[in-house]
Structure 1
Amino acid sequence: MNTRSEIYPIVCRHAANTAGRDFVVGDLHGCVDALRYLLREIVFDPECDRLFSVGDLIDRGSQSEEALALIDKPWFFPVLGNHEEALCLVSEGVMRRSAWYSLGGDWAQALPDRVLAAYARRLRTLPLVRVIGSGPRRFNVLHAEFFGDDAALDSGLFNERVRQQLLWGRELALGSGHVERQKGLSPTYCGHTPMREIGRIGAQIFIDTGAFAATGKLTVTEALTPRAWSVSVDQALAEGADEMSLP
């Protein structure tokens, strides 16, 4: 018999991609047009390439429902972000809609409860962590931050404090987290805290460059390489991104 943890794993493992390339995208925040543009720029091949996401698909930008539709793409592999967590908490009666709206969830004001519940059920299937490959070719994807080594991450035995840190933590980004606590942690892609450019702190590579902001941009990086591509929503639209199709 399947258990809930088997159906909805906290940590999801993926074999190394021997057929194509692996990319990781920063916090999307409803900026799907920017993603369309970047997928064209990297010549993304949905037959063999994969796109991992550090979460926060929704809120703040103008295309949250289009971003949620990405979850069902066979080449797209997101983790849960704190904004998806907020949607779920609203649907589950734990958070008030007004509190979520203040975080950028006001796009959902006209959504009936049944639609929100359907989104929440789908989002609750997303893992907190994705682990890709093994050995020197291993990398991890999570939303905010983690302190521990690969074995601790692999275990999925996260107490509530660690779970909250995975979704909401900013100790590393704010300079109060000790990088030595990440000894033995493979390169780990994360978002949550917007940066002007991709930056690494300890084992973590921060790739949220504020796609939703007027001066921000969406960033995609090829995993375990220095290659990265960024674009603002305005630039993407100027290049006709709204008429580009997703794979």
Structure 2
Amino acid sequence: MPIYAIGDIQGCYSELRRLLDRLNFDPANDRLWFVGDLVNRGPDSLAVLRFVRDLGETAVCVLGNHDLHLLALANGNSKHAKKSTLDPVLKAPDRDELLDWLRHRPMLHHDRERGLTLIHAGLPPQWDLTEAQIYARELEDVLRGDDYRNFLAAMYGDKPARWSPDLTGMDRLRLITNCLTRLRFCSPNGTLALKEKGDIGSQASGLVPWFQAPGRRTQNDRIIFGHWSTLGYWNGDNVWAIDSGCLWGGSLTALRIDRMPMETVQLDCHGHLRPDRID
């Protein structure tokens, strides 16, 4: 059974369909893992959402920062509304069904049989994989529960910047959210550096990619992630980065994960935005 992990789509529906055609994707036999950021900034977030939702059990999709942004915007948090291209989703007749489906997606997916973990962005060096799964479930429980609107109203922010198991309440949830959906660089002690968005080597002195933090407790776990378009496709340190910047004129990456060595298939993308705003 072919299984493909797919990089950040961000509303680029035609590119997604062309990539799946190249893969000869058969929903009756194949499976897809999406690293999140299905929506926003690209031209057809609504079509992407409907398509992935309709795949049902054929697809696994973890939530990214732009997916959470859609949920926040739909529930009245308009802090970053000017950076959005989400009106077609918000005005769609099936918006409530789509948003409810999105709200119930996981923050982290772990396949024990294959020894692979799927996240959107990163994990701080203090977490081992078991802890990462526990903290992801904490956030999932809130998003799926009765109090999710209060979380979405207070979700944005860069503080606290360093994990402690003593964190509680919104500070704890925000830190978990930022790790799983926004992290690229951190200090060696695990302090998040969320303003850093460039390629490796562009970061401020003293910062490292999250997956190269010394003593990272998940260094023996195989992790697939997206979010980092300036990094592009990258494999090393037991991680695979597969956001290759489709939205920005890069490529859309599929990583075949059901056999070793893993194989990549990439579709060149026209690019719907210039790469001068990256988040």
Separation in structure 1 between the aligned mates of residue 261 and residue 138 of structure 2, nearest angstrom: 30
Residues 77-156 of structure 1 aligned to structure 2 (within 5 Å): 77-93=60-76, 95-96=77-78, 99-102=80-83, 105-108=84-87, 111-112=90-91, 116-134=95-113, 137-147=114-124, 148-155=127-134, 156=137
1:240 is aligned to none
**Structure 1 residue ranges without an equivalent (≥5):** 1-19, 236-247
1:198 is aligned, of 219, 229, 233, to: 233
Contact 1:55 1:143 in 2 (8 A): yes
Q: Percent identity?
A: 23
CA-atom RMSD in angstroms: 2.6
Per-residue deviation, 1:201: 5.0
Give the partner amino acid of 1:228.
T
- CA 1:99–1:112: 2 relative to 1, 3 Å: same
Does residue 162 (structure 1) correspond to residue 144 (structure 2)? The answer is no
Post-superposition shift, 1:114?
Answer: 7.5
Aligned residues of 1:33 and 1:233 also touching (Cα < 8 A) = no
Consecutive unaligned residues of structure 2, counting only runs of 5 or more, are 140-171, 187-199, 272-279
CA distance 1:170–1:197, shift in 2 (3 Å): closer
Structure 2 residue aligned with 1:222: 256
Larger relative contact order, structure 1 or 2 (CA cutoff 8 Å, min sep 6): 1
2:222 is the counterpart of 1:187: yes
Q: What displacement does 1:150 show?
A: 2.3
2:37 is aligned to: 56
Q: Is the 8 A contact 2:33 2:61 kept in 1?
A: yes
1:19-38 deviations in Å (ceiling 9; x for gaps): x0211000011112112122
Q: Is the 8 Å Cα contact of residues 140 and 189 (structure 1) preserved in structure 2?
A: yes
In structure 2, distance between residues paired with 1:37 and 1:189? 22
Structure-2 change in CA distance of 1:197 and 1:171 (3 Å) = closer
SS in 2 for 1:181: coil
- Are the counterparts in 1 of residues 9 and 246 from structure 2 also a CA contact under 8 Å? yes
Q: Deviations over 1:172-192 (max 9, x none)?
A: 665253153143552111111
Q: Residue 26 of structure 2 aligns to a residue in which SS?
A: coil
Q: Report the CA distance between 1:64 and its aligned residue.
A: 0.5
Report the counterpart of residue 14 of structure 2 in structure 1: 33
The residue number in structure 1 matching 2:55 is: 73
User: 1:58 is paired with a residue of what secondary structure?
Assistant: coil
Q: Is the 8 A contact 2:254 2:265 kept in 1?
A: yes
Q: TM-score, structure 2 length as denominator?
A: 0.67
Q: How many residues align?
A: 209
* Aligned partners of 2:46 and 2:88 also within 8 Å: no
